[in-house]
Structure 1
Amino acid sequence: MSGVVLFSGGGDYVDPWHPFADTSAVVAEVLRDDGFDVETVDRIDVLASRLAGADLLVVNAGGGPQPHPLDARLSDLIAQFPGALLVLHVAATLLPEHPEWERRLGGRWVRGTTMHPARGPLELRAAEADPITEGLASIRTVDEAYSWLRLAEDARVFYTQEHAGETHPVAWAVERDGRRAAYDALGHDVEAYDAPAVRELLRRLARWAAAR
């Protein structure tokens, strides 16, 4: 059984738009049902004490439009963590003054460039044939269509969505320095996880990141 620490917003990191406790509960349930041992924490001090025994760090948190006072501590913890990383939704906006976050993740939300239209019906299309996308050529849900995220050249894109006549990456993965990281832009609220395919994508990305 792989050990997962899920760092959730709602404690040290909060914003006015995302019900982190609710979505993190769904994420934890999905991963537990898939055989992961999941512990959810929402405080940096607790995160620091739990990472040593974890194989996978899942980040489902946001801190609002400005750098957060705890960003330096969070950045250090993630940089020192030798395990795998799975980042969800608005967590791509974290650590705006810490470039190591983007390098580890293989991309990020860029303030002033990245955006999303109003939450609504969203369809994702598989970008390539891969075990991550096998049997899931398309995914339909209700969520925010993240657009114009910045992506590294070596990132493997699994799913995209169309907005304003352009194709935008939604889920990707990178492997660098022997460490795996995956990103899933879905998960604004609990309704986004109602679609079974969204939960299946989450499971597959977690398995890939943890090399299961």
Structure 2
Amino acid sequence: MPVRLLVYTRTTAYRHDSIPAGVEALRTVGGFEVDHTEDPRALEGPLDGYAAVVFLSTSGEVLTPAGRERLAAYVEAGGGFAGVHSAACTEYDWPYYGELLGARFDRHPDHQPGKAIVEDHEHPATRHLPAVWDFVDEWYDFRTNPRAAVRVLASADESSYDGGGMGADHPLVWCREQGAGRVFYTALGHAAEAYEDPDFRAHLRGGIDWAANAG
């Protein structure tokens, strides 16, 4: 049976041109039944029909107070949550969201080739990847290093690109538990081309499956 997702792409700050490609990737990667919305009212109603809620390149303040309450209750009760790319640039005014995701976006260098170091090959988001994953992205820096509170799956090799700001320990992809729920986050996914990459598509599929407790 397909895993049913609520994919949310509302933006009130920077908007990524890659959002349509990301939604299409989740519809076509296999195994997901996708309800896509940008209406904050969709987060105010019951969410227990979804295996996971996915914030795909959201930005700014995107939830109502009722939506915040509903999302928190959903995850605490066992619902899955996945954040992709600028999901880390979202809901800065809601402290719970920063805890839920694990870290908040700080800055990024230019979009450029670099290398991600896979630290955990046991996770479905990364088990298909090489030890060193060549990719093109923005290589997000975060305001704090989340390592103490998350399971780091991959980190950025700052020596492989220009402009990194976190140093030798630079988590990029991770997962964690929140209440009875599971949370997955990947900082990758800036450009539309990323969503055509088979390794990245499998990365998304594995991470969301894990968050949904389906893989």
TM-score of the two chains, using structure 2 as the length reference:
0.82
Looking at structure 1, the residues matched to 63 and 101 of structure 2 have their Cα atoms a distance apart, in angstroms, of 19
Q: Return the match for 1:117 from 67, 88, 109.
A: 109
Tell me how far 1:89 sits from its aligned partner: 0.5
| Corresponding position: 1:101 with 2:97 | yes
Tell me how far 1:210 sits from its aligned partner: 1.0
Aligned to 1:15: 13
Tell me how far 1:190 sits from its aligned partner: 0.8
1:146-157 aligned at under 5 Å gives the runs: 146-150=140-144, 151=146, 153-157=148-152
Q: Is the 8 A contact 1:140 1:195 kept in 2?
A: no
Looking at structure 1, the residues matched to 68 and 25 of structure 2 have their Cα atoms a distance apart, in angstroms, of 22
Tell me how far 1:102 sits from its aligned partner: 1.6
Q: Return the match for 2:73 from 64, 80, 94.
A: 80
Tell me how far 1:35 sits from its aligned partner: 1.1
Greater Cα offset, 192-201 or 168-177 = 192-201
Tell me how far 1:149 sits from its aligned partner: 4.6
Aligned to 1:162: 157
Q: Which amino acid in the other structure matches residue 178 of structure 2?
A: R
- After superposition, the Cα gap between the structure-2 partners of 1:194 and 1:102, relative to the gap in structure 1 and judged at 3 Å, is same
Tell me how far 1:211 sits from its aligned partner: 1.2
- After superposition, the Cα gap between the structure-2 partners of 1:21 and 1:89, relative to the gap in structure 1 and judged at 3 Å, is closer
Q: Return the match for 2:176 from 166, 174, 177.
A: 174
Q: Which amino acid in the other structure matches residue 175 of structure 1?
A: E
Q: Secondary structure at the match of 2:6?
A: strand
Greater Cα offset, 160-169 or 119-128 = 160-169
Looking at structure 2, the residues matched to 115 and 185 of structure 1 have their Cα atoms a distance apart, in angstroms, of 12
Looking at structure 1, the residues matched to 62 and 98 of structure 2 have their Cα atoms a distance apart, in angstroms, of 19
Q: Which amino acid in the other structure matches residue 157 of structure 2?
A: E
- After superposition, the Cα gap between the structure-2 partners of 1:152 and 1:160, relative to the gap in structure 1 and judged at 3 Å, is closer
Looking at structure 1, the residues matched to 8 and 16 of structure 2 have their Cα atoms a distance apart, in angstroms, of 14
Q: Secondary structure at the match of 1:51?
A: coil
Overall identity of the aligned pairs, in %? 26
| Corresponding position: 1:34 with 2:53 | no
Looking at structure 2, the residues matched to 38 and 156 of structure 1 have their Cα atoms a distance apart, in angstroms, of 27
Unmatched segments (≥5 aa) in structure 1:
none
TM-score of the two chains, using structure 1 as the length reference:
0.83
- Alignment RMSD (CA, Å): 2.2
Greater Cα offset, 68-77 or 178-187 = 68-77
Unmatched segments (≥5 aa) in structure 2:
159-163
Q: Secondary structure at the match of 1:39?
A: strand
